[in-house]
Structure 1
Amino acid sequence: MSSPDLVPNDLWERIAPLLPPHPPRRRHHPGRRPIDDRMALAGIVYVLRTGVAWRDVPASTIGCSGVTCWRRLRDWTEAGVWPRLHQLLLDELRAAGLLDLNDAAIDGSHVRALKRGDHVGPSPVDRGRPGSKHHLIVDAHGTPLAVSVTGGNRHDVTQMLPLLAAIPPIRGVRGRPRRKPRRLYADRGYDYPSHRRHLWKRGIKPVIARRGSPHGSGLGTIRWVVERTFAWLHQFKRLRIRYEHRADLHQGLLDLACSLICLRRLRTSF
């Protein structure tokens, strides 16, 4: 894959204004010129898609080394580039009438963590091996609205309220930006009275399966979209297993993957 294939023009046009400028070069000792940002982004997308180690990024094809790509990922993550890109694409989706914020679905998914680090814990579904958990909230079409990463031993319900708070103010049409859905669909793991009360106070109707009730509530006919979005996320091989020691870098890759999913939805709707 070449750089133009990994970073097409529509992606580059949206992300280029968000990137922080390079520090000014010294007059007498300018040093080596910085690698082009588009090449570095191509390396980041290459690692995200293929799951290869940073040292295995093909410099002859991408145009820069994997170490440079990792450094740009670190710098751009610390600068908050990925959440702003995600919010920009959500605004465009709403302006195009492609977001349904009346209904939202929430769920979590376990991934194995091969390195120790922040937000890593014993996974209850993997015999206590180190793992992390992805928490995701989507709209009625499965468009990712917010995503987070925690330790593998964190309960899903602990991230319900933080995920709702993480939904950015989505603009795109006249009036106030939307920051919350009208109804929230979830499985019985989220069935706690305190959280139900909090949702009602925020004006959100909880549509959550009751604990202890038999399976077959029928909510799966709406809630299945979040499972499909997890499948979309884990098509990016770097997200199937957590390799990053730093949780913020893994979070940055998650946000970038959500942005690519949003961009793909924009492309297929015109």
Structure 2
Amino acid sequence: MNSDLVPDDLWAHVAPLLPPCAERRHRHAGRRRIPDRIAPAGILYVLRTVVAWRDVPRQLVGCSGVTAWRRLRDWTEAGIWPRLHTALLTELRAAGLLEMDDCAVDGSHVRALKGGFHTGPSPVDRGRPGSKHHLIVDRHGTPLAVSLTGGNRHDVTQLMPLLDAIPRIPGLRGRPRHRPRRLFADRGYDFDKYRRLLRSRGITPKIARRGAPHRSGLGKTRWVVERAFAWLHQFKRLRNRYEIRADLHQGLLELACSMICLGRLRTAF
């Protein structure tokens, strides 16, 4: 296994979250189970590249692509990736690296090459099947929550579900934090109904008005979400959607967000 694919600090966060597996006794026929320490290498190799699961080089990662896909499926169904993301956000907040007073939200289209759930005719790709990544970040661009919808879903329809998806983040004295004080968004979120919904939650909306000149100054704060999408799509598997199962693509999104959070922790210490 290439240790660069699964660094020790990443494995230290993943290992406590994995469900226990029963060891196969020697009298049972068949191959021994690939250790859990090896399987994430195959998942991360696919996440960082556009290689098909069947083409994962066993000699490089230590397991076949089929084995890596099965672990991704099992761990996604067990809810490993949201818990990993929450654990890393907690460490960031404890280290003073998470600033949730100002948050920004946006959506990004990706092409869905194989279809599946949460796809739809993309309005920016001549009606071809596509999906959308919806992302909310803190003041530094740290991903707080990410979701997947069809490419024909309007950004504003996912605003409240995305806010609800922000986990309760402990790490400091007092109540866990799960709500920003100000939310920055572009003109796609310019609806008075949603401004009222945000204010009812104690969130001040900072949303650009449609038809207003492009000198509102919101871009000075909102640009971090665009940079976060650039970070997210550096994982080449996420630039297009290859997974037919929406939950597996969502799991890869959450794993990529966790990798971004881990990178912030590394550079801070």
- Provide the TM-score with structure 2 as the length reference: 0.98
Q: How many angstroms apart in 1 are the aligned matches of 2:213 and 2:22?
A: 60
Secondary structure of the residue aligned to 1:4 is coil
The answer to whether residue 236 in structure 2 is matched with residue 244 in structure 1 is no
Query: What is aligned with 1:191?
Result: 190
Query: What is aligned with 2:142?
Result: 143
The answer to which of 189-198 and 161-170 deviates more is: 189-198
CA offsets 1:186-216 (integer angstroms, 9 cap, x no match): 0011011111111001000000001221222
Aligned length: 269
Secondary structure of the residue aligned to 2:3 is helix
The answer to which of 29-38 and 99-108 deviates more is: 29-38
Letter in 2 for 1:132: S
Q: Is the 8 A contact 1:25 1:31 kept in 2?
A: no
The answer to which of 84-93 and 52-61 deviates more is: 52-61
The answer to which of 19-28 and 198-207 deviates more is: 19-28
Q: Indicate the percent of aligned positions where both proteins have the same amino acid.
A: 75
Query: What is aligned with 1:253?
Result: 252
Query: What is aligned with 2:127?
Result: 128
Query: What is aligned with 1:176?
Result: 175
Describe how 1:40-59 pairs up with structure 2 within 5 A.
Answer: 40-59=39-58
Query: What is aligned with 1:64?
Result: 63
| Cα distance, 1:173 vs structure 2 | 0.6
Letter in 2 for 1:119: H
Identify unmatched segments of 5+ residues in structure 1. Answer: none
Identify unmatched segments of 5+ residues in structure 2. Answer: none
Q: Give the CA RMSD over aligned residues.
A: 1.0
Describe how 1:1-270 pairs up with structure 2 within 5 A.
Answer: 2-26=1-25, 28-29=27-28, 31-270=30-269
| Cα distance, 1:25 vs structure 2 | 2.6
Q: How many angstroms apart in 1 are the aligned matches of 2:5 and 2:84?
A: 16
| Cα distance, 1:26 vs structure 2 | 4.9
Q: How many angstroms apart in 2 are the aligned matches of 1:155 and 1:5?
A: 39
Q: How many angstroms apart in 1 are the aligned matches of 2:244 and 2:78?
A: 19
Q: How many angstroms apart in 1 are the aligned matches of 2:193 and 2:2?
A: 49
Structure 1: 4+ residue segments shifted above 3 A: none
Q: How many angstroms apart in 2 are the aligned matches of 1:157 and 1:115?
A: 26
Secondary structure of the residue aligned to 1:268 is helix
Secondary structure of the residue aligned to 1:20 is coil
